[in-house]
Structure 1
Amino acid sequence: MPEEFWEKSCLARKYSTRSSTKELNVYREDYMKLVIYGIGKQAECTHYLFTHDSPYEVVAFCVGAAYLSAVGTQFQGLPLVAFEELTALYPPSEYKLYIAVGLNKVRRQLFEEAKAIGYRFASYIGSRAITWPNLVMGEHVFIESPSLIHPFVTIGDNVMILACTIGHHTVIGSHNLLSVAVLGGNSRVGDNTFIGMGAIINENVQLGHNNIIGAGSLIGKHTEDNAVYTGEYSKKRLVDASRVKVFK
């Protein structure tokens, strides 16, 4: 991999918010090739971002053996192998893993299975995402551009943050997916929680574990575990669009 790519990738991207030469050298030594679990749209997007916006080299994909016969032996021009055979083909001592699965429950199960057989995980912070040096995060964290994460934020393991705004002093648990949402300062998100597009969580609000916060929801009070919230869908107006002036 070219030297200039390392400089742009590790410094301009502020990957893991490293800034010193010593820290950059540590990151170089920690560099590993990457296998992605999944063959869906999420895996395709993840492959593109890791390839064009990270120091990792994606070398293969994997899925469960039950799905392999139906989809062939290649994906995105790379080898596609059974997850059950991964340790023999791409040993955890030489390769990292990223699980490109959106469903929290499934991603958690795969994360725990892979961890149990010795795999370490890649994390990704988009080059157009904004973070601060005191961001604390676990392993297998995916922060997509153009997320804005304020100071004093803590993120657990196995979390996907897709184009979100996260307020200061927020604590996000593990095995969560947040999609185009806004979280006010000092909010809390329990484990195994999904927050949909356009949802707003007010400051100082605590979400319970295993919550589903639907698109467009506005949450202003603490929630219980296993709660489901949905926003109101827009109603069709009884008027023809050709009779409406959008601009005066």
Structure 2
Amino acid sequence: MSQNLLIVGAGEFADIAYEYFTVDSPYTVVGFAVEKDYLTEDEKFGLPVVALEDSVTRFDPAKTEAHVAITSTQLNRVRERLIKKTQDCGYTLANFISPRAMVWRTAKLGVNVFIFENNVVQHGVQIGDGCVLWSGNHVGHQSVIGDYCFLSSHVVISGYCKIGARCFLGVNSTLADSVTIGADIFVGMAAVINKSFEDAGLILNGHPAEASRVSAYRYFKLKAPT
């Protein structure tokens, strides 16, 4: 039986989410929602676009689930904030798992997870809330990915790794076995990580990769958590 779905967001990722949920899931997208200050259109794909603050009057949370389709803006903080705001509105958050991905039965997923095609998620993996795995990644057995992380494409995470919250892993980056990286780390494309790093690192491409002297907070002009 089809379940109604509200997509939170109206940008490129929301367009992609609409396509994927429509073609490859049991959900029926019924509308889009954005924060009131960013409401610039009233229709997308023939469906209504509403203010998130007023969405419950149009889309009853008892009959409609939601998915927040936002990319890695502000090192994933915008997606994190909107996920919490959508939950505060009373919506259950839906996952999208491509039928062309391999997610092993012992893997544990949080809410509002989006896993594209050709991902491999192995035995015992844990993926937190609000994570996005773009196409073609490998997540090795028993690895743990924290909340609100974004894996771009063709990322290799070896076994027993731990990744902190809100990290961004660039295209073709690689983590060796049992590596731990802290929260708010930005990993550049093709970086080869063979040792652990603390929070807020800006890890540029290299083999082996090293952290920049500039923190991810400074680079993205973000405030450190208090």
**TM-score normalised to structure 2 length:** 0.86
- The answer on 1:190 being equivalent to 2:190 is no
Structure-1 residue corresponding to 2:21: 50
Q: Secondary structure at the match of 2:102?
A: coil
- The answer on 1:211 being equivalent to 2:180 is no
- The answer on 1:171 being equivalent to 2:140 is no
- The answer on 1:60 being equivalent to 2:31 is yes
Structure-1 residue corresponding to 2:83: 111
5 Å matches for 1:91-240? 91-103=60-72, 104-163=76-135, 164-180=137-153, 181-231=155-205
Q: Using the alignment, how far apart are the partners of 2:51 and 2:105 within structure 1?
A: 38
What amino acid sits opposite 1:120 in the alignment? T
How far is the alpha carbon of 1:154 from its aligned partner? 0.8
Q: Secondary structure at the match of 1:57?
A: strand
Structure-1 residue corresponding to 2:11: 40
What amino acid sits opposite 2:149 in the alignment? N
Q: Secondary structure at the match of 2:142?
A: coil
Q: Secondary structure at the match of 1:91?
A: coil
Structure-2 residue corresponding to 1:245: none
Structure 2 portions without partners, runs of 5+: 207-226
What amino acid sits opposite 2:139 in the alignment? I
Structure-1 residue corresponding to 2:216: none
Structure 1 portions without partners, runs of 5+: 1-27, 233-248
How far is the alpha carbon of 1:130 from its aligned partner? 0.7
What amino acid sits opposite 2:116 in the alignment? E
How far is the alpha carbon of 1:67 from its aligned partner? 2.0
Q: Using the alignment, how far apart are the partners of 1:132 and 1:76 within structure 2?
A: 34
Structure-1 residue corresponding to 2:221: none
What amino acid sits opposite 2:186 in the alignment? I
How far is the alpha carbon of 1:40 from its aligned partner? 1.2
- What is the CA deviation profile of residues 112-168 of structure 1, one whole-angstrom value per residue up to 9, with x for unaligned ones? 111122111010110110111111111111111110111111111111111211011
What RMSD over aligned residues (CA atoms) do the two structures have, in Å?
1.1
Structure-1 residue corresponding to 2:56: 87
Higher helix share: 1
Q: Using the alignment, how far apart are the partners of 1:35 and 1:225 within structure 2?
A: 34
Pairs aligned (count): 201
Q: Secondary structure at the match of 2:32?
A: strand
Q: Using the alignment, how far apart are the partners of 2:82 and 2:10 within structure 1?
A: 14
Q: Secondary structure at the match of 2:83?
A: helix
Identity percentage of aligned residues: 31
- What is the CA deviation profile of residues 200-231 of structure 1, one whole-angstrom value per residue up to 9, with x for unaligned ones? 11111001011111111111100100111111
Structure 1 stretches (4+) deviating beyond 6 angstroms? none
Q: Secondary structure at the match of 1:112?
A: helix
- What is the CA deviation profile of residues 25-63 of structure 1, one whole-angstrom value per residue up to 9, with x for unaligned ones? xxx5xx630000111111111100000000000010111
